[in-house]
């Protein structure tokens, strides 16, 4: 009996990703296909297109993953799949595929929460140290959690409107940059040599609130762009700076209210260099240990799904035959 090999499957949005992870911490292999380029033409994800592309990609991606791992299907011990939240059609492909494969191979299948899975990108570096604070910053969510153990998460704060990634995506649209906007904004912001005085305002939801609000940034960015049409790079920098400041401010407040020793970041926006640096500064100031996912595992991937699946399997969770995709799925549910 060797290590426990879990196949992870992620299809909640525009990435069809599959990975093999051993014992919830060693990434053996992964492969992925993305339909992002197709959606870019429309300025955002088209759910029907995403679902169709998943159906085309999922088998070749599985084959590629196994080929890279140099193992046959029969070597797998279990399957973990993103159950939700996400796009219905997209999720259904992954969930149905996982269940069918599980029946065919006679191995257990476990469903996982996409956001919780993002946190487990960190488990691929080192075992998680509890209790911790977790900040999830993706295209659809901005959530602060108190993370007390595997499967024990309490939501402390959330965005009341747009997610942090959405603020980047919408701001990018205003500046005429393609989807996904985060990397585009970051790239443009980096071209600024002399920091200007352009500054976007932060939302204020009260001095104790651990919630976020980013929807005001879109309007403010648009106004700034029409006032200063030639200063696009500075506006990109101002947007990045506003999102980062908001995330740091609320995270610092959470550390005061919940003085834990470990802070975990996760989600696509964690790929942002300015955010990583600002959080490192915060961690040094507050003397907490900062944990960042590996750069390649910040955005959607299947390794994180397999890693979380390992722990859920260990706790006895199994997907039943009539379990299906959960488009709205609360964290800690
Ligand atoms: O976690 P993720 O891959 O997918 C969701 O579950 O939403 O996050 C995607 C989000 C997008 O909004 C994208 O613009 C943002 O992450 N993002 C970034 C960067 N890379 C991706 N935002 C800022 N800077 C980046 N470098
Ligand atoms: Zn995600």
Among all ligands shown, which has an atom nearest to the Cα of 164?
A: 1
Give pLDDT tens digits for 72-91. 999 999 999 999 999 999 99
- Rounded distance, CA 283 to CA 306, Å? 28
What is the pLDDT at residue 41?
Answer: 84
Evaluate: CB of 87 within 6 angstroms of ligand 1. no
Asked whether residue 331 is assigned to any structural domain, the reply reads no
**What CATH code is carried by the domain that includes residue 155?**
3.30.420.40
What is the pLDDT at residue 2?
Answer: 65
> Does 16 share its domain with 36?
yes
Asked whether residue 320 is assigned to any structural domain, the reply reads no
pTM for this entry? 0.94
Could you say which residues of the chain have pLDDT below 70? 1-2
Asked whether residue 333 is assigned to any structural domain, the reply reads no
CA-proximal residue: ligand 1, atom 19 (nearest): 182
> Does 135 share its domain with 47?
no
Q: Separation of 133 CA from ligand 2 center, angstroms? A: 18
- Rounded distance, CA 71 to CA 307, Å? 18
> Does 143 share its domain with 263?
yes
For residue 265, report the phi and psi dihedrals to the nearest 5 degrees.
-110, 150
The number of folded domains in the chain is 2
Among all ligands shown, which has an atom nearest to the Cα of 302?
A: 2
> Does 162 share its domain with 31?
no
3-state secondary structure of 108: coil
> Does 135 share its domain with 149?
yes
Q: Separation of 283 CA from ligand 1 center, angstroms? A: 22
Asked whether residue 319 is assigned to any structural domain, the reply reads no
Looking at ligand 1, which atom is closest to the CA of residue 163? 12
Domain span including residue 165:
131-292
> Does 191 share its domain with 89?
no
Give pLDDT tens digits for 97-143. 999 999 999 999 999 999 999 999 999 999 999 999 999 999 989 99
Pocket test for ligand 1, best of 241, 293, 299 (most atoms within 8 A of CB): 299
Asked whether residue 328 is assigned to any structural domain, the reply reads no
> Does 278 share its domain with 138?
yes
As a residue count, the chain comes to 333
- Rounded distance, CA 282 to CA 267, Å? 18
What is the pLDDT at residue 45?
Answer: 86
> Does 92 share its domain with 42?
yes
Looking at ligand 1, which atom is closest to the CA of residue 15? 3
What is the pLDDT at residue 30?
Answer: 98
Q: Which residues of 73-94 are buried (b: 16+ CB within 10 A; e: fewer)?
A: eeebbbbbbbbbbbbebbbbbb
CA-proximal residue: ligand 1, atom 14 (nearest): 182
């Amino acid at each position: 009996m060797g290590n426990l090999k879990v196949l992870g499957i992620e299809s909640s949005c525009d990435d069809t990703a599959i990975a093999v992870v051993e014992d919830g911490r060693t990434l053996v292999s992964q492969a992925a296909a993305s339909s992002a380029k197709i959606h870019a033409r429309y300025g955002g994800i088209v759910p029907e297109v995403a679902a169709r592309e998943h159906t085309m990609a999922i088998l070749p991606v599985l084959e590629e993953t196994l080929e890279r791992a140099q193992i046959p299907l029969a070597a797998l011990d279990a399957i973990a799949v993103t159950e939700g939240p996400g796009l219905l059609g997209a999720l259904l492909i992954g969930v149905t595929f996982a269940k069918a494969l599980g029946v065919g191979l006679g191995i257990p299948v476990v469903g996982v929460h996409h956001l919780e899975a993002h946190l487990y990108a960190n488990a691929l570096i080192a075992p998680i140290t509890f209790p911790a604070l977790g900040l999830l910053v993706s295209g659809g969510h901005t959530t602060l959690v108190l993370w007390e153990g595997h499967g024990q998460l309490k939501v402390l704060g959330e965005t009341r409107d747009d997610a942090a990634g959405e603020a980047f995506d919408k701001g990018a649209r205003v500046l005429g940059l393609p989807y996904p906007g985060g990397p585009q904004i970051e790239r443009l912001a980096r071209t600024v040599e002399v920091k200007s005085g352009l500054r976007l305002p932060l939302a204020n939801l009260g001095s104790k609130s651990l919630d976020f609000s980013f929807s005001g940034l879109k309007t403010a960015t648009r106004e700034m762009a029409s006032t200063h049409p030639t200063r696009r790079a500075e506006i990109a920098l101002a947007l990045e700076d506003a999102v980062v400041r908001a995330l740091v401010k609320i995270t610092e407040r959470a550390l005061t209210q919940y003085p834990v020793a470990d802070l975990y970041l996760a989600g696509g926006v964690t790929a942002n260099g300015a955010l990583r640096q600002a959080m490192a500064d915060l961690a040094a100031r507050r003397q907490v240990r900062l944990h960042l996912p590996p750069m390649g595992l910040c955005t959607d991937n299947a390794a994180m799904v397999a890693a979380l699946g390992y722990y859920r399997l260990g706790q006895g969770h199994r997907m039943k035959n009539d379990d299906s995709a959960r488009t709205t799925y609360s964290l800690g549910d």
